[in-house]
Amino acid sequence: MDFKNVIEKTSKDVSSWAAIIAVGSSLTYLLGYLSLRFHLTAIGIWTDISLFDEKYFFEGAKFSIYFLYSLPILFSILLLFYLLFYILSRLFKNLREHINEYFLLIKNYCRNNPNNLALMGIIWSIIVIQIVMRQCFTVQNIITSGIFPDAIWLTNLLLTDNETILILYFSGLIFVWIFSFSLLIIFIKIAQQSLAALILKWSFFLLIIIEFILLPINYGILIGDKSAPRINTLGENRVLQPNEKAWLVWEANDSLTYFVLTRTDKEEKRELITLPRKDVKIIDIISEDNIFGVVHNARVKK
């Protein structure tokens, strides 16, 4: 083999891999930015993070790992449903025939009316976005306001530390996105060339992009790191009183932010205190608590 050709082929491969790594890193950074920013908004921390900060990349990496971790669980659940359907179809042949006829009718209808398929997909996406995926936006400034969402299921997701519930919820979100994307692919393959089809295709595509963007946002607010270390002391200039409890909720490069809960016989006070890192010599951790659970329990006991 010609040495020059080997060099050219290697150079092309290196360039391709470099482009893939650059795109992957940028996507990871963007996902981390969405996740971390909305996580801080939910807690109620208005901190100044540089646009280019390694925290975004690591948060994006955590989201990507959680996303990949959820896929086998989602596929396992779908496989269980398939096996259940297979067993029932073997036991009840009439059921299998009816289901096959039903799917054949759906297939023929979609093939003859591709625009209706896209329209149903758009309606499906809008319903899921409005009813489920965008509900996390109601979670804001929890620490200082103490106000939880009206949706009970959303509050339960914030308060739970049960990883099974969280992974099932996130797997459901991924299923919604994959299902919508699959409908779009089918529509593109069977759609006719027309202005209406073009409008439907790009409208559907926009909604799928919104669904994907909402995945890291939901992760950051409902699933991401909700635990906060309870500490025994603040800085040298701020001593905890006997009726005070404090949790470290954010570490910046030059400062530390604490959530301090003060209880008296008459009232309860919640505040965020930011101290320069140089004033904090020791971080004495007592325990790890779900910060949303701390706020919720304090509100109930009030």
Over residues 194-198, mean pLDDT: 86
Distance CA 297, CA 278 (A): 32
Q: Decide which of 191, 206, 223 is a domain's last residue.
A: 223
Q: Are residues 251 and 185 in the same domain?
A: no
Instruction: Specify the number of domains making up the chain.
Output: 2
* Cα distances (angstroms) measured from residue 222 to each of 134, 146, 169: 12, 16, 10
Residue with structure tokens 């006991």?
301
- DSSP letters spanning 181-220: HHHHHHHHHH--SSHHHHHHHHHHHHHHHHHHHHHHHHII
pLDDT score of 268: 77
Q: Decide which of 206, 223, 240 is a domain's last residue.
A: 223
Q: Are residues 147 and 246 in the same domain?
A: no
Q: Are residues 100 and 88 in the same domain?
A: yes
Q: Are residues 81 and 203 in the same domain?
A: yes
In a domain, 212, yes or no: yes
In a domain, 2, yes or no: no
Q: What percent of the chain has pLDDT over 70?
A: 88
Exposed e or buried b per residue across 26-48, where buried means at least 16 C-beta atoms within 10 angstroms of its C-beta: eebbebbbbbbbbbbbbbbbeee
When the pLDDT of each residue in the chain is averaged and rounded to a whole number, the result is 83
Distance CA 263, CA 174 (A): 42
In a domain, 159, yes or no: yes
114, pLDDT greater than 70: yes
Full residue range of the structural domain in which residue 251 is found: 227-301
pLDDT tens for each residue of 211-240: 999 999 999 999 988 888 888 887 766 777
pLDDT tens for each residue of 121-163: 999 999 999 999 999 998 888 888 888 888 899 999 999 888 8
12, pLDDT greater than 80: no
How many residues are given for the chain?
302
